[in-house]
A and B are shown apart, each in its own frame.
Chain A
Amino acid sequence: MDPHSESAKMASGPKPTPPSTPKTARQQAMALLASADPAQLTEMVDALPVSTAHEIVRPAETGLVMARGRMGGTGSPFNLGEVTVTRCVVRLSSGEVGSAYTLGRNKQHTRNAALCDALWQHPAHTVVIDSMIITPLAEMRDAARHLVKAETAATKVDFFTMVRGDD
């Protein structure tokens, strides 16, 4: 059975955004912010040439999300185990509301990510956030992934056939 037809069937399920839906630019930016190195993100936010003044709408709070797997990889879901998650909502004085959900318990990370999400939505700041934070984060992530793939590729098995001596 073609696995793609199976994911097409899953798309008709109750969830509004199945995994096959392409991510919006905001979702992609939020993903990069969530997976950023916290110290790195702090440095980047501190270096921003725009006002980062904001108020906290929902203070950073740590909780749990139950991670789900699928039976056999593509089947019905089951509960695998929980992950710690911290979430935060901030608002700029201009009204943009930024949200962040990040794995782990680092509240400063989450708050920075929410701030960047809010600034990214501000029409005057999107470009600067993209160029000073999102694009560099994407480049760092791609470089890290590339290294993992290249190191893993070096452990790929090359099979060769032994020729029997009497042949």
Chain B
Amino acid sequence: MYVAVKGGEKAIRNAHKLLAKQRRGRTDVPALTIDQIAEQLAISVARVMGEGSLYDEALAALAIKQSRGDLIEAAFLIRAYRTTLPRFGYSEPLDTANMLVERRISATYKDLPGGQLLGPTFDYTHRLLDFTLAAEGEAPLDAVETAAIDEGPMPRVTDLLSDEGLMETDPLPQEDDVVGDLTREPLSFPADRDLRLQNLARGDEGFLLALAYSSQRGYGRTHPFTGEIRYGAVEVEFFAEELGFAVSLGEIKLTECQMVNQFDGSAKTPPKFTRGYGLVFGQVERKAMAMSMVDRSLRWEELGEECTAPVQDAEFVLSHSDNIQATGFVEHLKLPHYVDFQAELDLVRRMRKEWFAAREKRDEDLGLSETKEQEAAE
């Protein structure tokens, strides 16, 4: 029997007022502006856009402000918001070879065309707190250096080795390709690589990081090398039916990671280098790398490898990567479960009663047998 209980409206209203007060904090401290968040917490903004699966810096910044910096809550707000908007359609596939590159590195080829461009990175910093940032009014910045531009092409590193057949080529698009879309059809298994990549692109950074780490530590070996990471702006094009041609919508910032993996070959495939692919909104390099490693691990079946580790288990990985779903199910546990628990209480009381009764009976039986044994011994 289900018994609905109402109540708590006033408490909820007051709790939300209190939340609003706590969110604002001390009023003698200036309120954050959306621009400040978008400009100065850009990597948080990128993470919310990625896991919220919606590229809009101002919306993500607003969500971060509203959620008090709880990035999963912010991504949740973004996912909820996107359901209020109509879908115009699908973009033309993004061309990352034409990226306006702000960072591009390869850990496999020192002298690749276009060179190693460090760009704005935390790499090679000493991870020492910079107390000058805590001072009232930051010190003026050092002037940024500029240098002569190399206008030569900057090929994706994976295009360099493919002549020899050493590097696997990408799966060619088929005319009748139907591209799976998790926002239209819920995830089902087996999941093809298009669905897997969409799932990973909006998956939780921490979860993917831990899975990628597990694959390095021996739970499903991937032998990864960072073939290339590139970050920068890419034009988004949309085919407008009424115009009959593709229009440029503007540019979005992306991080792309090509992880190269040694592959010993199998019955199906000769030895060569295989690749995992990561593509994420904004400068979220750690996630792009983790995504590419998890993508490669999930390709075990196609390459004829053995499945031995959690990171290779598509059902496990893809079903648990979405932090909005995860937080929904975990956090629902704090909602009232009074009726369910009442039923459990009744059940456990009955089970205890039966257990004690059974023990009493057993003791009696044992007592009898002990007496018999004693008699026999005498």
Interface of A with B (CB < 8 Å)? Answer: 1-3, 6, 9-10, 12-17, 19, 24, 27, 30-31, 34-35, 61-85, 87, 99, 101-105, 145-157, 159
> Given A71, A82, A87, A148, which contacts B194 in the complex, CB threshold below 8 Å?
A71
Q: List chain A residues, Cβ under 8 A from B249.
A: 34, 65, 83, 85, 101-103
On whether the beta carbons of A150 and B147 are closer than 8 Å, the reply is yes
On whether the beta carbons of A68 and B93 are closer than 8 Å, the reply is yes
Q: List chain A residues, Cβ under 8 A from B56.
A: 83-84, 104-105
On whether the beta carbons of A79 and B182 are closer than 8 Å, the reply is yes
Q: Can you name 15 A-B residue pairings with CB atoms under 8 Å?
A: A65-B90, A68-B93, A72-B277, A75-B171, A76-B179, A81-B50, A81-B55, A101-B238, A103-B55, A103-B236, A149-B149, A150-B147, A155-B118, A156-B150, A157-B118
On whether the beta carbons of A155 and B236 are closer than 8 Å, the reply is no
Task: Give CA–CA (A13, B172) in the complex, Å.
Answer: 11
Query: Could you tell me the dominant secondary structure of chain B's interface residues?
Result: mixed
With contacts A72-B170, A80-B201, A83-B55 taken as known, whether A65 is within 8 angstroms of B179 at the C-beta atoms is no
On whether the beta carbons of A1 and B163 are closer than 8 Å, the reply is yes
Interface-facing stretch out of B16-24, B79-87, B304-312, B349-357: B79-87
On whether the beta carbons of A78 and B238 are closer than 8 Å, the reply is no
Task: Give CA–CA (A112, B170) in the complex, Å.
Answer: 41
Write the chain A residue with the least CB distance to B165.
Answer: A1
Q: 5 closest pairs, A vs B, by CB?
A: A75-B170, A31-B248, A103-B250, A150-B146, A72-B170
Task: Give CA–CA (A122, B271) in the complex, Å.
Answer: 60
On whether the beta carbons of A71 and B197 are closer than 8 Å, the reply is yes
Q: List chain B residues, Cβ under 8 A from A70.
A: 93-94, 96, 170, 173
On whether the beta carbons of A1 and B179 are closer than 8 Å, the reply is no
On whether the beta carbons of B275 and A72 are closer than 8 Å, the reply is yes
Q: Mark B225-253, 1 if CB is under 8 A from A, else 0.
A: 00000001001111110111111111110
